[in-house]
Structure 1
């Protein structure tokens, strides 16, 4: 019997998707699937399955899948997403090694005699002493371990909030508040590393890869399950908000990165058809493909996400579930947009 035969998924509606005691709080990545929501699917998949998330974002699904002994593969074109996902699945077993790395990193940063300050477009959001500390630490970014890189990025977000008197939300950059409040970046980085240290057995691969080109990196007919929550039309700019600040600090070309992502309505249908073609190539016969999607209001018209993706899929439809959004901040946007959105979970089979 194959890894994918005779699985009858049971999916319950959650009253809350919050899980504060989680490594996924390492960074406020917008639009990420709830770890609790991902868990109820992953625990029903046979142990040892190859699970692919072609839009892995900050790595929620690839990390949670490791808890059940799956071999997880995550791909994303957003460099920040890749840094975060790699950080989560490559947490060292020893906290002593992490602590030693961070202490040495901070000491080296403090003693730097020559370094470049970050762009004014980023520095304006911080107290001058805080951005000086960030500038010093950023010099060593490339040499950081995966986990410390992820913590470094998350600490930038946390200190940006703090410098603006915590008037910004955890995921949204607001109006600059002046005068800036000084936040000790070194101390916050040490706290972040301690708070999110949850090592686990590692059997995962993360690639900075376009989902429209999966077969360039992933072996043909090697995947048992695809489980993902794809970017939905032009709902979110994954290079905006805190990511924009980080890209300026790291001196990445944010505009070029954004242009490569799948997130514009005009090209979306063609892009997703290409993704489905690639998924068909890398999936085994009998593989299950699970998409968690949602309704979206475009040009005044409400589009059912499940029906939209079903119309593009080359796979056989197995199950179509629909539920209301509950226990999430999306309800605030529903009131603003006068919509009552639904979420669809679509399961196909090759």
Structure 2
């Protein structure tokens, strides 16, 4: 059984924990430090901690930072359940007035459920408090999904991996005469929290920061020269815009109540020269953290780039960043078909299957 913490909040563009475990066993020993500068939902972070390694990571997107941060610093189940009960009492006792929201929210959530969601959105301090962060991560995982199949989903019928656009969603629900089910948020939160603890969480604590990957050295000054392994997957060229795909979860964490295109400039690159410049700056930001003998593993793809293009681009960027050290490819790259592409999920047959590639480099 995979650890239940891995699936706390799914979305597209994530690699499986088995891939991380393979790299850990091949290139590190227990107690050594692992870095993921594009940590996403925290697969590298959690799997490293579960395997007795230390782990640090960053991500510029709040949803990723919240979910990965919850996995990096898991509170006790008792403290989580106590906090949920405290919030429930506060909700029932307070004369709470929520924010005025667009029409989408009337269709997406039952009125009573929406009141609970907006209350939690206001009072959960996900950026500073580990318990609130963990509860927020659970909320992100149950906020929307296939409610006709699961009683633990709070929304009208939606995908679980992405937040569909408001106008499209409302039109789709109207055409099918679908209404949002009334769901009791606090009991669902309790059961969801208990499920995540069906297996023992890692005892060690990692660190995840909400910031640009290029500032990795600034954010992890206490890890200078200590990283034994980097396992990461940067944004792919000309692929999805994270801030649009995750707009509803971003709203819950304090963002806008409608999709915003390219909240972060580096969510999506469409110009090749800018893309490689960005990644080269990331490697330069990471380099001071990497120890004398280390390995960097990169999973990467792109709709306009061949395997050879990607290998050349990553190699040259690493050689520039580690210009006084040796960068040696461990192999020529391993390719695999992207199993769950977003395009195929929503517009089947619109484009051919695409590949992503794993490149590994020894740094000495």
Whether the TM-score (by the shorter chain) exceeds 0.5 is yes
Does the 8 A contact of 2:60 with 2:264 survive in 1?
A: no
* Per-residue Cα deviation, 1:39-98 (whole angstroms, up to 9, x for no partner): 121233211111111101111101100122211111111122111111112222x42222
* Aligned equivalent of 2:280: 273
Shift of 1:342: 4.5
* Aligned equivalent of 1:223: 227
Shift of 1:249: 3.4
Where in structure 2 are there 5+ consecutive unaligned residues? 320-326
Aligned partners of 2:230 and 2:143: how far apart in 1? 32
Aligned partners of 1:339 and 1:154: how far apart in 2? 28
Aligned partners of 2:156 and 2:261: how far apart in 1? 32
Does the 8 A contact of 2:244 with 2:261 survive in 1?
A: no
* Per-residue Cα deviation, 1:258-277 (whole angstroms, up to 9, x for no partner): 23434212221111110111
Q: Give TM-score, length-normalised by structure 1.
A: 0.82
* Aligned equivalent of 1:201: 203
* Aligned equivalent of 2:67: 84
Shift of 1:222: 2.6
Q: Does 1:97 align with 2:72?
A: no
Does the 8 A contact of 2:121 with 2:254 survive in 1?
A: no
The number of aligned residues is 325
Matched residue of 1:343: which SS? Answer: strand
Judge which range, 63-72 or 169-178, deviates more.
169-178
| Aligned match for 1:126, one of 75, 89, 109 | 109
Judge which range, 244-253 or 146-155, deviates more.
244-253
Matched residue of 1:107: which SS? Answer: helix
Shift of 1:129: 1.8
Q: Does 1:146 align with 2:133?
A: yes
* Per-residue Cα deviation, 1:262-302 (whole angstroms, up to 9, x for no partner): 421222111111011122222122221111223x223xx65
Q: Give TM-score, length-normalised by structure 2.
A: 0.79
| Aligned match for 1:64, one of 22, 47, 56 | 47
| Aligned match for 2:249, one of 233, 246, 250 | 246
Q: Does 1:338 align with 2:341?
A: no
* Per-residue Cα deviation, 1:93-130 (whole angstroms, up to 9, x for no partner): x4222212211212212222033236326624212221
Shift of 1:133: 1.4
Q: 1:172 and 1:256, CA in 2 relative to 1: closer, same or farther beyond 3 A?
A: closer
Aligned partners of 2:100 and 2:53: how far apart in 1? 41
